[in-house]
A and B are shown apart, each in its own frame.
Chain A
């Protein structure tokens, strides 16, 4: 197990390094930050001056080296637009993103696991078909569109919930629902598939033959085994939800990391974009790494392979 963990950790570091190189390269190639800073109507001389003053005229590898050494020391640089340390900005915004992501994950479990169970116990019934339809809609519907529908219905028309912002707990209701719908289908389908497999296994038949109550068979024997792959996937889903918050936070004006990234993209605020991508990617890679370890712990065949 330690050898397996070390190998996976090395892979994770390598992926993070590649992500940082690609992010730095693409953001610098995609936009000329000097033009973005100068704004419309800037002369060539003005753009050239800004390029020089901000150091954008230096070779990319020099800029990357400087950025990497700062990042390794915990300094993501200074936002071009806000003129504040990016690390401070990340620290301010992360609680909002983590709150929405966490609430969305909890909500996804609360909805998807029971629905997947019921669908598995009644395969091809109306409830199974309803669950399938619910999952297909969730997979197909863009999150931002679902968010806008929620705003129209519950914010603007019914006045039940605030449309945007982060002032109260009520502000997190619609964003969490919108974001959770992204994860519900996969958790539900995994639960259903796991339950169908488990319910057909010999030990469940034995448990039933022993005369155990159906409730005991279902929750104590079947469900605990069926949700093991779901729990492993949950870590990865949390990473997805954090990354997906870029869209949801933009729709609901939640001032988290996603919204900050969205605005930084518009403003070509390269230090912020680079930091957000690397931090979210790092978080995702960490969760995948932990998920790999969990899977290897639960299934020894993985670490042997």
Chain B
């Protein structure tokens, strides 16, 4: 049914492009100083710690709350936010000075006690946090005075600052009530949440007391209404009918049609999401051809990744030669790893050398999400051209896919990782290559480097991650494909900047 609906979404857009809409509706919300946003993924909760949804974790999370460490959206560097400065006392102690004069939305002053409350809650097993591993290195928060704290670590955590940025919003004391329900829904962020209905909408209003010298700046738009809509087709319909002013994840094939509509603007921006192909390198199937590095290199040469990025994804997408986001700490310079250029001739020669002059048959797996099917069908075509006959298998959900991978039933997979906007390879490397059930490589050398990196402080850990990433690329243990981009559409009277980490930062937008 979903596939049919996507087709209908395309038909809808084509239909609307033909019968152009009234342009006046696009201007309606500027006068009300209200930005209306539509998201298709359901936000069940307003609590960023209990969802993996970017829409809540990052978009609403960054609007309503602040983290200790901020991010410069241009350079991706860590910058002060709730913490104005920090220093490592030793490998297990991070001292931070907290910003003074910051108030919660209910007027209470922000202090180190709030930081202590936040980490105590996050690391209490009773609270069943989905991503406790992101914070469990904080053993304790020592309050030197109300505006100076020391994070006591349980182990060296070289990625500490990356995890303290964006995904670790600081909560006020008594944020949670009995049973984990949200009792005191206030943050320190540039917007305060004035209304929230799960799966329906969130209303945020400008925080007039937000501190002015932070990286987030001073919010310009008075009110932001974020609506939850059932799918992309409805989001497009609402946007085109003037029901919302801003949308993202516009299908690339619709971009030109939307651009032609009066009063509408289309823009593209990068993301931290990296796609890759994985192989049964360890030979869970004894007859797998993927144990042979020549076969994996042949596949690397057979796929025109640059063309895929350009034509299937669109502006902002880029080929990657390492399996991490290039700006992440621990991700090696791409020039230091082997580049496999597009060359079907080299691919065929390598296959012949490996004993497959006529190719072979196999299957490639992924899960239903975004353009996954399109990407796989393109890869199927490229590999077919060098003799590898692939059947494309798509599971309806990520969980079903993950189950199959763990059972070793997937000779080749295509996966992606959005990094949760965490600017350190620690968010992706340990999960993919650390010998777990979904690691179909289990390369002892890579596992050892990652194990050491996890237990080591800066800067040695960076070298260890570099070593691991380089080996992965050079031996094609995994084949990095490309980063992706997303398309945004908004009314032309909105001054909106698409940033490269897929965070819309509405607090930096304004009306023209």
* A residues adjacent to B (C-beta < 8 A): 30-33, 35-46, 49-50, 53-54, 78-79, 81-84, 89, 142, 144-145, 148, 151-152, 155-157, 159, 162-165, 247, 250-253, 255, 259-260, 262-263, 266-269
Contacts and interface: CB of A to CB of B under 8 A. Distances in A.
A82 B44 contact: yes
User: Which A-B residue pairs are the 10 nearest by beta carbons?
Assistant: A39-B52, A81-B44, A44-B436, A263-B42, A35-B399, A53-B128, A82-B44, A253-B230, A156-B241, A41-B431
B200 A255 contact: yes
Contacts of A163: 234, 237-238, 241, 243
Contacts, number: 142
Interface in B1-52: 1, 4-5, 8, 12, 15-16, 19, 21-22, 42, 44-45, 47, 50-52
B427 interface: yes
Interface stretch (B105-113, B129-137, B330-338, B487-495): B129-137
Interface in B420-462: 420, 427-428, 430-432, 434, 436-438
A40 B274 CA distance: 13
27 contacts: A33-B399, A36-B397, A38-B130, A40-B398, A41-B431, A43-B133, A43-B434, A49-B132, A82-B44, A82-B198, A84-B198, A145-B4, A148-B8, A152-B16, A152-B237, A156-B16, A156-B237, A157-B15, A163-B238, A164-B243, A165-B227, A247-B1, A253-B228, A253-B229, A255-B197, A259-B199, A263-B42
A162 B25 CA distance: 14
Interface residues of B, number: 61
Nearest to B427: A41
A268 B399 contact: yes
Given A42-B431, A43-B431, A50 B130 contact: yes
B402 interface: yes
B30 to A, nearest CB: 19
Nearest to A251: B230
Interface string B263-287: 0000000000000000000000000
A40 B230 contact: no
A31 B397 CA distance: 9
A148 B151 CA distance: 54
B230 A156 contact: no
Nearest to B428: A41
B3 to A, nearest CB: 12
B431 A31 contact: no
A178 to B, nearest CB: 14
B477 interface: no
Interface of B: 1, 4-5, 8, 12, 15-16, 19, 21-22, 42, 44-45, 47, 50-52, 125, 128, 130-133, 179-181, 197-200, 227-231, 233-234, 237-238, 240-241, 243, 397-400, 402-403, 416-418, 420, 427-428, 430-432, 434, 436-438
B199 A43 contact: no
Contacts of B22: 159
Contact of B398 (A30, A35, A44, A79): A35
Nearest to A35: B399
Contacts of A164: 229-230, 234, 237-238, 243
A44 B240 CA distance: 44
A83 B47 contact: yes
Chain A at the B interface: SS class:
helix
Nearest to A44: B436
A53 B45 contact: no
Nearest to A263: B42
A293 B141 CA distance: 67
Given A81-B50, A152-B15, A156-B21, A250 B230 contact: yes
A31 B402 CA distance: 10
A259 B21 CA distance: 29
B403 A35 contact: yes
Contacts of A40: 52, 398, 416-418
Given A250-B231, A252-B230, 8 more contacts: A41-B427, A83-B181, A84-B181, A155-B237, A251-B230, A253-B228, A263-B42, A268-B397
Nearest to A31: B399
A43 B197 CA distance: 32
B40 to A, nearest CB: 10
Contact of B400 (A31, A45, A46, A255): A31
A32 to B, nearest CB: 6
A157 to B, nearest CB: 6
B431 A269 contact: no
B176 to A, nearest CB: 10
Nearest to B242: A159
A156 B42 contact: no
B234 A251 contact: yes
